């Protein structure tokens, strides 16, 4: 558990432009050369010739991100220092890229499945029976080697497969790869608009006068799986209160406290707080022991909004929030409390303000303490 009232220096982060391409574009977007000779030559010089040697691959042996329905890592033996990766997110986003561990992601493409297509893939995954395959088989000296991690509707499963994939899983993979081949005529315009928005945000930030985050504070709640998150900042010489959130999660523990190592600069219009939780995989899962989930809270300075999941809240209408991570899929359910705390306040005073605004019994019974 986290210790009471931990305070961290707030260092802020804006995703790199290459990451913005992945987030904004729903079609095939090439990040680097498609020529395998170009990228392969770079990858072949990797200092990690052993597939199982990298931290990323070792972690995937026992841990699965809860936002994924499927993750596939595949290469043709002998291993040359890189592998092809395919991911399907719960929201239908499909990503594929060449993964050079400890170095780079190359030749990245992404797409989004429609709801009907996503449901069809989920049903294929839930119907899979790969019990004849092991979760620990190593690569053969030659031939295709695939690490497959998927959610079967109850638990995460891991299988290591040598040779061609069985038809029952290849059908699901084919549908994802087909989506990646669909051209999106609006992709380029989205990139241009994103560039223009970034330049405008930089111009505004350089003009000054913004409520800039400086530190965050986490205070655990007593006898419940939850915490009080407070982000404070500065506007000029004045200390400010940016937002406060009661965060509740269904199980497990907070395994990664939100310390962002990125450097703050005048061109950064976002301040993200990321909390990572982990809990045991369901007993029916094979190979995967731990499932992780991330909660990302994004404060947008120039827009003065707070984004939780897919919902944005204008902070001028209130800066208190209650965030509940849903039991089944950990989707963040957020609601705003239409009141403000403007200046520095203690965790206890902030909790009392929540109680004065929300009269339900669950809130009234909250107490600070680990």
How confident is the model over 51-67, as a mean pLDDT? 90
Q: Which two tokens stand for residue 113?
A: 């499945």
186 within some domain: no
The pLDDT of residue 363: 95
* 147 lies in the same domain as 233: no
227 and 306 belong to one structural domain:
yes
Q: Which of 164, 180, 196 is the last residue of a domain?
A: 180
How many alpha carbons fall within 13 Å on the CB side of residue 312? 9
Query: Most distant CA pair in the chain: distance in Å?
Result: 67
pLDDT score, position 215: 84
Whether the Cβ atoms of residue 299 and residue 324 lie closer than 8 Å to each other: no
**Polymer length of the chain:** 370
Q: Residue 52 gets which letter from DSSP?
A: G
Which CATH number characterizes residue 93's domain?
Answer: 3.30.1560
Mean of the per-residue pLDDT values of the chain? 82
Question: For residues 26, 27, 29 and 34, what is the CA-based torsion angle, rounded to 10 degrees?
Answer: 140
- Report yes or no on 194 lying in a domain: no
Kindly report, residue by residue over 12-37, the tens digit of the pLDDT.
Answer: 443 332 332 223 222 233 334 444 33
161 lies in the same domain as 238: no
The residue range of the domain holding 334 is 6-14+209-364
Contact present, 150 and 69 (Cβ < 8 Å): yes
358, 307, 315: which is closest to 332 by C-alpha? 307
Top pLDDT among 257 and 8 is at 257
Whether residue 157 sits in one domain with residue 227: no
What integer is the mean pLDDT of 332-338? 95
Q: Domain for residue 70, yes or no? A: yes
pLDDT at 17: 28
Which of 36, 176, 33 shows the shortest CA–CA distance to 114? 176
Asked if the structure places residue 200 within a domain, the reply is: no
Give me Rg for the CA atoms of the chain: 23
Q: What is the pLDDT, as a whole number, of residue 314?
A: 96
Of the three residues 142, 164, 180, the one that is the final residue of a domain is 180
- The Cα–Cα gap between 261 and 360 comes to 38
Q: What is the pLDDT of residue 268?
A: 62
- The 10s digit of each residue's pLDDT in 151-210 is 999 999 999 999 999 998 999 999 999 998 886 677 677 777 877 877 777 776 666 677
Residue 295 placed within a domain: yes
Query: Is it the case that residue 42 has pLDDT exceeding 80?
Result: no
Token duo for residue 197: 């928005």
Residue 168 phi/psi, 5° resolution? -65, -25
Dist. CA 66–CA 329, nearest whole Å: 8
111 within a domain of the structure (yes/no): yes
At 348 the pLDDT is: 96
Q: How confident is the model at residue 67 (pLDDT cuts 50, 70, 90)?
A: very high
Q: Going along the chain, which residue ranges are E strands? A: 6-9, 63-65, 68-77, 83-89, 93-100, 104-112, 143-151, 156-162, 212-220, 226-235, 238-248, 253-256, 270-280, 290-300, 305-308, 311-314, 320-325, 332-337
Q: Averaged over 127-156, what is the pLDDT? A: 94
Residues 213 and 360 in one domain: yes
| Same domain assignment for residues 231 and 302 | yes
Same domain, 213 and 138: no
* pLDDT tens by residue, 227-254: 999 998 888 788 889 999 999 999 999 9
Question: What percent of the chain clears pLDDT 70, i.e. is strictly above it?
Answer: 81
Count of domains for the chain: 2
Could you tell me if residue 232 is inside a domain?
yes
The DSSP output letter for 221 is: B
Shared-domain flag, residues 78 and 170:
yes
Residue written as token pair 């989930």: 293
């Amino acid at each position: 558990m986290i210790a009471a009232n931990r305070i961290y220096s707030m260092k802020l982060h804006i995703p790199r432009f290459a990451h913005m391409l992945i987030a904004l574009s729903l079609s095939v977007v090439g990040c680097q050369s498609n020529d395998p000779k170009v990228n392969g030559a770079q990858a072949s010089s990797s200092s990690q010739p052993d597939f199982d040697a990298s931290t990323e691959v070792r972690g995937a042996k026992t841990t699965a991100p809860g936002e994924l329905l499927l993750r596939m890592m595949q290469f043709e033996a002998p291993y040359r220092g890189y592998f092809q990766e395919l991911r399907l997110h719960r929201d239908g986003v499909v990503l594929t890229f060449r993964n050079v561990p400890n170095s780079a992601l190359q030749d990245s493409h992404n797409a989004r499945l429609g709801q009907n297509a996503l449901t069809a893939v989920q049903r294929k995954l839930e119907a899979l029976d790969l019990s004849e395959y092991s979760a620990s088989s190593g690569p053969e000296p030659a031939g295709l080697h695939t690490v497959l991690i998927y959610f079967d509707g109850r638990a995460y499963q891991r299988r290591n497969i040598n040779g061609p994939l069985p038809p029952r899983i290849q059908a699901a993979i084919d549908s994802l790869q087909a989506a990646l081949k669909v051209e999106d005529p609006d992709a380029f315009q989205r990139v241009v608009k994103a560039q223009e928005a970034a330049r405008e945000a930089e111009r505004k930030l350089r003009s000054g006068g913004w409520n800039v985050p400086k530190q965050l504070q986490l205070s655990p709640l007593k006898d419940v799986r939850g915490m009080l998150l407070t982000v404070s900042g500065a506007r000029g010489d004045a200390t400010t209160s940016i937002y406060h959130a009661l965060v509740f999660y269904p199980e497990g523990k907070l395994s990664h406290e939100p310390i962002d190592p990125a450097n703050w600069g005048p061109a950064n219009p976002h301040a993200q707080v990321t909390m990572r939780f982990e809990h045991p995989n369901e007993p029916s899962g094979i190979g995967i022991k731990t499932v992780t989930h991330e909660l990302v809270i994004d404060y947008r300075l120039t827009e003065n909004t707070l984004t939780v999941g897919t919902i944005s809240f204008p902070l001028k209408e209130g800066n208190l929030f209650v965030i509940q991570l849903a039991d089944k899929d950990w989707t963040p359910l957020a609601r705003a409390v239409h009141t403000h705390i403007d200046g520095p306040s203690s965790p206890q005073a902030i909790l009392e303000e929540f109680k004065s605004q929300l009269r339900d019994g669950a809130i009234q019974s909250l107490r600070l303490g680990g």
